[in-house]
Amino acid sequence: MRIDIITIFPEMFDGPFNHSIIKRAQEKGCVEINLHDLKDYSNDKFRRVDDYAFSGGAGMVMKIEPIAKCIDHLKSKIDYDEVIYMSPDGELFNQKTANHFSTFNNILILCGHYKGIDERVREYYITKEISVGDYVLSGGELAAAVFTDSIVRLIPGVLNDETSALSDSFQDNLISPPVYTRPREFKGMKVPDILLSGNDKEIRKWKHEKSIERTKKRRPDLFDNLGE
């Protein structure tokens, strides 16, 4: 298996991937893990990969340009089974999901940071969103490490006893709405006009509607508990 991870903090993986089972799995040739520094794909002289969010609000948003450049470069060389974004509003990760992903050949993982990534990345590049739980981390690196560890140990040959793995045992309940940043248009993909209107009332209404829409679609368990 090959796992490629896009991150702005590749050094965060030194501990998880250079010790114990993950280290042995790499030494045995069972898995190849490659870290890609997103800052290397920035066109900014200061290597910045984030910008402010259209319509305002606290926090920065990871830009689409460096992410698209990195993913396009990697996909030109590797045929990925899934392009995964570690996200708190993705599919909840469990053992069944880990078993499924452990059978793949090539996986690409994107680690988010700040207030999230430009929504167009999620719409046009990501094939699967995974959450490790209903809580927020400072970034996707820890979640990616958990995800990687859980699937690598299931690969045949990683554990000395291959049968061991088989015996292993939100504030308002709404998911956040889509976020966008510059440029306003990228390869024909446009930021919704409402976010550029300056009409705060209508923007708040749009965001609330999108939050309800997303929550109902992606997390019906949360949606059913609204108002409680």
Question: What pTM did the predictor assign?
Answer: 0.84
Residue 51 CA to residue 149 CA, distance in Å, equals: 32
For the segment 29-71, what is each residue's pLDDT rounded down to a tens digit? 999 999 999 999 999 899 999 999 998 888 899 999 999 999 9
Share of the chain above pLDDT 90, in %: 79
For the segment 124-177, what is each residue's pLDDT rounded down to a tens digit? 999 999 999 989 899 999 999 999 999 999 999 998 765 455 434 355 778 889
Nearest to 133 by CA among 169, 97, 104, 100: 97
Residue 118 CA to residue 96 CA, distance in Å, equals: 29
Q: What average pLDDT does the chain have?
A: 91
Domains of the chain: 2-167 (3.40.1280.10)
For the segment 61-116, what is each residue's pLDDT rounded down to a tens digit? 999 999 999 999 999 999 999 999 999 889 999 888 999 999 999 999 999 998 89
pLDDT at 228 over 60: no
DSSP the chain: -EEEEEES-GGGGHHHHSSHHHHHHHHHTS-EEEEEEGGGG--STT---EEEPTT--SSEEE-HHHHHHHHHHHHTT---SEEEEEEEEEEEP-HHHHHHHTT-SEEEEEE-BTT-B-HHHHHHT-SEEEESSSS--SBSHHHHHHHHHHHHTTSTTSSSSTTTGGG---TTS-PPPP---S-SEETTEE--GGGGS--HHHHHHHHHHHHHHHHHHH-HHHHTTTT-
